[in-house]
Amino acid sequence: MGVELQNFNHDQMGSDSLPNFREERAKARLDDILKAAAELFVERGYDRTTIDDVAARIKLTKGAVYYYVHSKGELLYLCHHEMVVRSIKAIRVIEQMDSSPCDKLYMAIYQFVMSATENRAIYTVIERPDVLPAKLRRKVIGERDRYEAELQRLIDDGVQSGDFHEVDPVLTRLLILGSVNSVARWFREGEQYRGTDIAHYYAQQFLRMLLHPTAVAPPPSLLDFSSAPGET
């Protein structure tokens, strides 16, 4: 009923270099399990959701789910892990681009908002790491710290280059993170705003807040509500 996970490594989630087709299939199945678990945690609450519920949601047996995870706590941890791995990978790609600090922060915020709107259920449940066992909670905090350090570096670079005001970089990072994380709580697909609309708007407003008056003006696309870097 399941894929044998003898060699499967959760730390490879979000990478594009999984060793073989069996592990690619295993990762795809695990993604389905995590999505179902996150949806159920939002609908019923973490405490009232069981592994049986998760298995039923995606039409697997309970035993098949246990091929991929050992416990409900591990499911919640992996929801965190998946998002952090993907986010760190995305922001590191942005950091390597030959672009200004303004462009890079715009793209980082845009990507962050899009991830929150496309993975709303997972973002909603990962706000509750306190329900995890202490060991997994420490891992979650460590992983979040790594992403936040990457975002902090982009803000610091903008301040040091003179592109941004002499803002408090730490409070600015916390303001961005708090604002974007809240999107998952109220966003609903198909309602007034699309994910791309929100991503453009948040990125634009934070850049307008941070840009130093003497900084070189960013390309029009960065302040144009109709487009974002990399889009045509």
Residue given tokens 């790594």 in the structure block: 146
pLDDT level of residue 137 (50, 70, 90 thresholds): confident
CB 77 within 8 A of CB 37: no
- Per residue in 36-63, pLDDT (tens digit) is 999 998 888 888 999 999 999 999 999 9
pLDDT of the residue at 97: 92
Which tokens hold the place of 66? 């246990």
pLDDT at 222 over 50: no
pLDDT level of residue 91 (50, 70, 90 thresholds): very high
pLDDT at 13 over 50: no
pLDDT of the residue at 17: 45
Q: Spell out the residues 6+ positions from residue 109 whose beta carbon is closer than 8 angstroms to its own.
A: 176, 180, 199, 202, 203, 206
pLDDT of the residue at 189: 80
Instruction: Among 68-82, 98-112, 172-186, 217-231, name the one with the lowest average pLDDT.
Output: 217-231
Is 77-223 assigned to CATH 1.10.20.60?
A: no
Domain ranges of the chain: 10-70, 77-223
Residue 231, phi then psi, degrees to nearest 5 = -100, 155
Instruction: Among 104-108, 189-193, 195-199, name the one with the lowest average pLDDT.
Output: 189-193
pLDDT of the residue at 4: 32
211 DSSP 8-state letter: B
pLDDT of the residue at 7: 33
pLDDT level of residue 214 (50, 70, 90 thresholds): low
Residue 164, phi then psi, degrees to nearest 5 = -110, 155
CA max distance for the chain:
63
- Rounded CA-CA distance 173/142 in Å is 17
The CATH number of 10-70, from 3.40.50.920, 1.10.10.60, 3.40.50.10800, 3.30.530.20, is 1.10.10.60
Instruction: Please tell me the pTM assigned to this model.
Output: 0.76
pLDDT level of residue 10 (50, 70, 90 thresholds): low
pLDDT at 232 over 60: no
pLDDT level of residue 25 (50, 70, 90 thresholds): confident
- Which of 8-12, 53-57, 126-130, 139-143 shows the highest mean pLDDT? 53-57
